[in-house]
């Protein structure tokens, strides 16, 4: 597992029903592309997060396939309509099988 991976999410704590809210996510990850060589000329193996999803109460908001060209510490910003109170579930899937998760609850304003 890549070391020091820490997901960070910025989401509103409350919203009115039907509000469109902005969600920001950032995860610290080296996103090693698999194209680079180390000082001895050996290929550094690919190690990236290959998928990112966000669900609200089980409904998919976004499902992203990530590729090696995506930079270190990938950042996503997107919008979602919040129909009711519930939990936002953010999930990142690492090449090595690790899964990083973060949950944010949104209350009704």
Q: Is 36 in the site for another protein (CB under 8 A)?
A: no
Q: Is 72 in the site for another protein (CB under 8 A)?
A: yes
Residue 67 has phi, psi (to 5 degrees) of -115, 165
- Tokens 């973060």 locate to 102
Q: Which CB sits closer to another protein, 24 or 36?
A: 24
Q: What angle do CA 104, 89, 79 make, to 5 degrees?
A: 80
Count CB neighbours of 27 within 10 A: 21
Applying CB under 8 A, which of residues 2, 12, 21, 28 lies at the interface with another protein? 28
- Tokens 């999930």 locate to 91
Nearest distance in Å: CB 58, another protein: 26
Residues engaged in binding another protein (CB under 8 A)? 4, 6, 8, 10, 24, 26, 28, 71-73, 75
């Amino acid at each position: 597992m890549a070391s020091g991976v820490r997901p960070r999410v910025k989401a509103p704590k409350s919203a009115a029903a039907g509000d469109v809210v902005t969600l920001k996510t950032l995860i610290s990850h080296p996103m090693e592309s698999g194209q680079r060589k180390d000082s001895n000329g050996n290929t550094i193996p690919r190690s990236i997060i290959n998928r990112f999803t966000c669900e609200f109460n089980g409904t998919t908001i976004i499902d992203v396939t990530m590729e090696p060209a995506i930079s270190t510490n990938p950042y996503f910003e997107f919008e979602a309509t919040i129909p009711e109170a519930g939990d936002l579930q953010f999930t990142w899937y690492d090449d090595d099988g690790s899964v990083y998760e973060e949950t944010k609850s949104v209350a009704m304003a």
